[in-house]
Amino acid sequence: MIVNAKSRRGQDLFEQACSLMKGLPFPVDAHAVEEPEQLEPTLKKALAAKPDLVILGGGDGTISGLVDFLTGTGAALAVLPLGTANSFARSLGIPLDIPGAVEVIATGELRRIDLGMIDDDYFANCAAMGISPQIAENVPSGLKRWFGRAGYLAWAAYEFSRFHPFTLIVGEGAEAKRLRVVEVRIANGRFHGGTEIIDEASVDSGEIVVQAVRGHARRRLLRNWFNSVLRREARHEDTVSFSGKSLRIATEPPLPVSIDGEVLARTPVTARIAAAVIDVMVPR
Same domain, 189 and 264: yes
The β-bridge partners of 33 are 4
**Which of residues 279 and 132 earns the better pLDDT score?**
279
Domain count, the chain: 2
- Residues in Cβ contact with 33 at an 8 Å cutoff, skipping those fewer than 6 apart: 2, 3, 4, 5, 6, 39, 42
Give the pLDDT confidence of 24-59 residue by residue, as tens digits.
Answer: 888 889 999 988 899 999 999 999 999 999 999 998
Residue 56 is assigned to a structural domain of this protein: yes
Q: Could you say which of 65, 82, 115 is where a domain stops?
A: 115
Residue 81 belongs to what domain range?
2-115
Rounded CA-CA distance 31/14 in Å is 9
Rounded CA-CA distance 13/31 in Å is 12
Residue 17: is its pLDDT beyond 60? yes
Same domain, 32 and 154: no
pTM, full prediction: 0.88
Give the pLDDT confidence of 239-257 residue by residue, as tens digits.
Answer: 999 999 999 999 999 999 9
Same domain, 94 and 204: no
What's the whole-number average pLDDT of the chain? 90
**Which of residues 1 and 136 earns the better pLDDT score?**
1
- Provide the pLDDT confidence category of residue 143 given band limits of 50, 70 and 90: low
Q: Could you say which of 83, 115, 147 is where a domain stops?
A: 115
pLDDT of residue 262: 87
Same domain, 252 and 212: yes
pLDDT of residue 38: 94
Residue 282 is assigned to a structural domain of this protein: no
Same domain, 82 and 206: no
Q: Could you say which of 115, 145, 179 is where a domain stops?
A: 115
Same domain, 169 and 111: no
> What is the dihedral sign for C-alpha 278, 17, 260, 88?
positive
